[in-house]
Amino acid sequence: MLIKLTGGKVYDPASGVAGLIQNVYFKDGRIIDKPGDQPVDKEYDCHGKVVMSGAIDMHTHIGGGKGNIARTMLPEDHRQDPVPRTNITRSGNGHAMPSTYVTGYRYAEMGYTAGFEPAVLPINARQAHMEMADIPILDKGGYVMLGSDDYFLRMLTAKKDQKAINDYVAFTINAAKAIGVKVVNPGGINAFKFNQRKLDLDEQNVHYGVTPRQILQVLATAVKELGISHPLHVHGCNLGVPGNMQTTLDTIQGIGGLPLHLTHIQFHSYGTEGDFKFSSGAAQIAEAVNKNKNITIDVGQILFGQTVTASGDNMRQHANHKFANPNKWVVMDIECDAGCGVVPFKYQDQNFVNALQWAIGLETFLLVDDPWRIFLTTDHPNGAPFTSYPHLIRLLMDRTFRNEVLATIHPEAQKMTTLASINREYTLDEIAIMTRAGAAKLIGLKERGGLAPGYWADITIYTDNVNREAMFSKPDYVFKDGELVVVDGKVVKTKWGTTHIAKPNYDASVEKDLKDYFDRYLTMKLGNFKISDDEITEDERGSLTVHPTKTAI
């Protein structure tokens, strides 16, 4: 079926198109060139509308054990937001940590067509994939967590060479069916198991004698040498600690030009000035990001209201449990592999710290120059549920609206932020970069995040509206792989997306030592640990899409 989108204003940063009136054609799931005299089967009038590729959330907690703990722990949150079934959609519930089906529907209803789970524990990867397999419409994928696993730390202590590390990292990406590598509080999750309660960049793990700086260096090098497109995804040390801005600056300086993605940087941009010894470090962080082209960031914006934080960083989550609201929380150590912490939070605009966190996130967005190196996230659900993205886009694109909200937050926080003096308003082109072309480039997704011929026809069409929140809340049409899935902000058809993975090459001999380690210390056989292709594809709705690496198998 040949489909034509006629007369829309196209924003396709991947092709350098910024607001040109163009027709878009697609057929059999793919964008095509203007066809010759082949008849158009269906035409959509897009005059007065904005056409972009489907949005991609490059960091959202949508699959894996900690999310399911968060769901299970918060029945009262679900009761606020029941979602009835329809003839074509399943029932479920929403708010902070929606059920899987509702996750898929609501993302699609905002024009998103892909989401990436950033914290896939190798030992819990099966669960992450099984949950994501129950998220309809979206494409998905995950970054596998390394850096606090005992096997890796033993390698560092034993001074194994970079090649051996690379093999282990590549093995793990393959075994967990991931597309990137993440490190969370480098070595800190492990240190917490030895009763360390904080771990600075140059502080040693008491058992292994290894520092976070070493871990970052070795993993960032591995990712680069393996040719993984997505740079090492870093949740840094000292999350949430006043003064952690300096840790973040040291992390940027110390990595020596290697590609790094610093995630939810808002939580890592705090100074210690002012009466409350809590201040914004956004300007210094943004300056460092602007200067260091090897660095990309996503913001992890907080927005006011009830949510739940779910993180692999059990050390910091344990420290933050005193802020739990409602007062219940879970911290886990997991399988000599990693850990997790789940703490409900209610961000309040009349709380000085929360109000300043809100401002720090926005300052960061507005002070970083290059939209190709910054990404729009709330670290769902940690800063806010993903359903708040349209509101966040309006805050970025509409200075008047932003200043109106600013005027309502805690007065001391207003004094501590430069937000009111920042005039920048994001353009539609910049939004399209952050949420589409830039995200696809960062993750290394081939043929996604753009509208050039050959790309998959993941397309979102909005009615242009000066109220950007209204505009981005309710797309007129969303196409996924060329199929119309959303009309007027409501799902009209469901389907299943693919799972994006990378398959970096490794020396198979790495499995010999691993097998011995698994047999001696772990509770599962190595052969049973590796996720096979058919586990993703056997139910006939999942599929795997392998993206290239420099050393692909």
Partner 1 sequence: MAVITEVPSPFCGVGTDDLSIQVDGIALKVVAYGCAVNTPAFEQAIGDSNPRLAGKSVSLEVAVTQAATLLAQTKQPVIGGCATDVHGMRALLSLADRCGAVIDNMGFNAARNNFLALQDSGWMNTTLAEVKNRCDLLLVVGTDLEAIVPRFFERYLWNEAMFLDDSRQRQVIYLGKPPSGNASTSPNGQKAQVLACDDSALPEVVGVLRALVKGQPIRADKAGGIAVADLQSIADKLKAAKYGVVTWGAGALGINSHAELIVQTVSEMIKDINKGTRCSGLPLAGKEGDLTANQVCGWTTGYPARVRFSKGYPEYDPYLYDTHRMLANGEADALVWVNAFNVKAVPPESELPTIVIGRSGMTFAKEPDVFIPVGTPGIDHAGHAYRTDNVVAIRLLKLRESGLPSTGEVLSAIEAEVQGVQHAN
Question: Judged by CB under 8 A, does residue 306 bind partner 1?
Answer: no
379 contacts which partner out of partner 1, Zn ion, none, CB within 5 to 8 A by kind? Answer: Zn ion
Does 167 engage in binding with Zn ion (CB under 5 A)?
Answer: no
What tokens were used for 239? Answer: 């999350």
- How does strand 338-347 pair with strand 374-375? unpaired
Position 57 contacts Zn ion (CB under 5 A): no
Question: Any contact of residue 539 with partner 1 (CB under 8 A)?
Answer: yes
Distance CA 412, CA 408 (A): 11
User: By CB under 8 A, is residue 544 in contact with partner 1?
Assistant: no
Q: What is the DSSP string of 485-536?
A: EEETTEE-------EEEE-B---TTHHHHHHHHHHHH-SS-HHHHSPPHHHH
Residue 396 near residue 426, CB atoms below 8 Å: yes
For residue 84, the minimal CB distance to partner 1 (Å) is: 4
Amino acid of residue 34 = K
Minimum Å gap between C-beta 518 and partner 1 is 10
Contact between 513 and partner 1 (CB under 8 A)? no
Contacting partner 1 within 193-222 (CB under 8 A): 193-195, 207
**What are the CA-CA distances from residue 175 to residues 60, 442, 444, 502, 535 (Å)?**
21, 22, 19, 11, 12
Stretch that binds partner 1, among 2-10, 119-127, 180-188, 491-499 (CB under 8 A): 119-127
d(C-alpha 115, C-alpha 125), whole Å: 16
CB 177 within 8 A of CB 499: yes
Piece in contact with partner 1 (CB under 8 A), picked from 417-425, 456-464, 496-504, 523-531: 523-531
100 SS3 class: helix
Smallest gap from residue 76 Cβ to partner 1 (A): 8
* 134 is a contact residue toward partner 1 (CB under 8 A): yes
Q: Is 541 helix (H, G, I), strand (E, B) or coil?
A: coil
- For residue 495, state whether it binds partner 1 (rule: CB under 8 A): no
Using alpha carbons, list the distances in angstroms from residue 463 to 52, 103, 425: 11, 23, 19
Rg (CA), the chain: 22
Report d(CA 449, CA 12) in Å as an integer.
8
For residue 318, give the H/E element and its range.
helix 314-319
| Rounded least distance, CB 269 to partner 1, Å | 29
* Residues in 28-87 at the binding interface with partner 1, rule: CB under 8 A: 65, 67-69, 71-75, 78, 82-85
Q: Which of the listed partners (Zn ion, partner 1, none) does 82 bind, with a CB threshold of 5 to 8 Å by partner kind?
A: partner 1
98 binds, among Zn ion, partner 1, none (CB under 5 to 8 A by kind): partner 1
Q: Does 516 bind partner 1 (CB under 8 A)?
A: no
Quick one: 68 or 211, whose CB is closer to partner 1? Answer: 68
Does 172 interact with partner 1 (rule: CB under 8 A)?
A: no
Residues lying near Zn ion in the complex (CB under 5 A): 379
Residues lying near partner 1 in the complex (CB under 8 A): 65, 67-69, 71-75, 78, 82-85, 90-93, 97-101, 123-124, 126-127, 130-131, 134, 150, 192-195, 207, 318, 324, 327-337, 342, 520-525, 527-528, 531-532, 534-535, 538-539
